[in-house]
Amino acid sequence: MKSILKTLATVVGVPTLVAAIYFGLIASDMYVSEAKVAVRSAKSGLSSNGLTALLASPVLSSGGQDSLVVMDYSSSLDIVEALRERVDFVGHYSNPDIDWLSRLQADATQEEVLEYFRERVNIKRDMVSDVLTVQVRAFTPQMAQEIASLIIELNEQLVNELSSRMEQDAIASARQEVDRAVANLRQTAQDINSFQTANDSVSPRDESLALFGRVTAIESRLSETQATLSETMAYMREDSADVVVLKNRIKALERQLNLEKGRVTGTGDKDLGSLVENFQPLLLEQEIAQQGYAASLASFEAARMDAQRKKQYLITFVEPNLPDAASEPRRLIKTITVMVYSFLAYLIFGLLWSALKDHMGH
């Protein structure tokens, strides 16, 4: 019996006593600052006014993916280096006043600093609401709050940077289409201008319509003059002054009519028919280019609006608090935990030892 009590005191009592001394007298107080954030997009309709709006908003797959990005970044070496640039992270956790088990070694390697950081910073994700709870443990309330605030700030910068990059990628293709449409529109305008300059014609189509109008007017005047001549010759001699004037007028109108018709058929100084035929495809190309430009602008605007709706934001609806009391270590619970585990170890090894003795006895 004495042997059992002695063994029990050694296996259970000694670790419990050591734990009681460490957690009760030596372990340094730690303060926990907590904050709650969420990644949301503009179309989720989230405002930063409180928890009600957050829980009412739909959980988007893209937000969930970005939440995982935030979690990964918050436990990465990159954020540790960023924190060290903004706050004396290593100096605080390696303070000689901190007990040696909780303290970060002043000459710790990069990997050791990262491992220590992961022990002091915890981020939990609510799978239903996609809310991230950030907990930072430090040895002063101010440092715990400051580190928590910096972690949120750095993650906000990361989310904004990723969102901006995604937005730029989303509209880059649409912007290229607009640029191509503008270049095509400019080329068609240049082709029309070159055609007009080379042929000394602003608009062959308008000129052709005007020419047909003149031909029609000349033909009408010619018909009227010929009718007048017929009436005049009925009661005047052919060599009379009025008849001669009318005949000369008819000849002049016929010459003018032949000249204008020659321009239409291409026998004159400018072949309007050919000009119109060659000018029409240029006008058609310009119209198509204008329609393409309008369509590309509409596509660009749609892509931009869609990118804006999908843009992600890191919303902080519970700011990092300033702890007013140390919440860790939980001294009594830690001591009892050591005692319970020690007792379980005693029972397990006792059963194994009994089984081994029975086996050796047989």
* Half-sphere exposure at residue 58, Cβ-oriented, CA atoms within 13 angstroms: 8
Residue 127 has pLDDT above 90, yes or no: no
Cα–Cα nearest to 290, from 192, 168, 169, 171: 192
CA dihedral 266, 269, 273, 278 (to 10 degrees): 120
Amino acid at 233: M
Q: Cis omega before residue 141 (within 30°)?
A: no
Q: Is 35 helix (H, G, I), strand (E, B) or coil?
A: strand
pLDDT of residue 48: 43
- Percent of the chain clearing pLDDT 70 (strictly above): 81
Instruction: Look at 147-161, 183-197, 285-299 and tell me which has the smallest mean pLDDT.
Output: 183-197
The sign of the torsion formed by the CA atoms of 261, 267, 269, 273 equals positive
pTM attached to this predicted model: 0.61
pLDDT tens column, 9-62: 777 778 888 888 877 778 788 899 999 999 887 664 444 444 444 444 444 444
What's the CA gap between 61 and 66, in Å, rounded?
9
Residue 282 has pLDDT above 50, yes or no: yes
Instruction: Look at 34-38, 209-213, 216-220, 265-269 and tell me which has the smallest mean pLDDT.
Output: 265-269
Bridge partner list, 131: 38
Residue 113 has pLDDT above 90, yes or no: yes
pLDDT tens column, 65-82: 778 899 999 999 999 999
Tell me 130's DSSP state.
-
Measured from the Cβ of residue 99, the count of other Cβ atoms closer than 10 Å reads: 14
Average pLDDT, integer, range 88-96: 91
Q: Are 155 and 249 in contact (CB under 8 A)?
A: no
Residue 314 has pLDDT above 50, yes or no: yes
- Residue 171 vs residue 142, higher pLDDT: 142
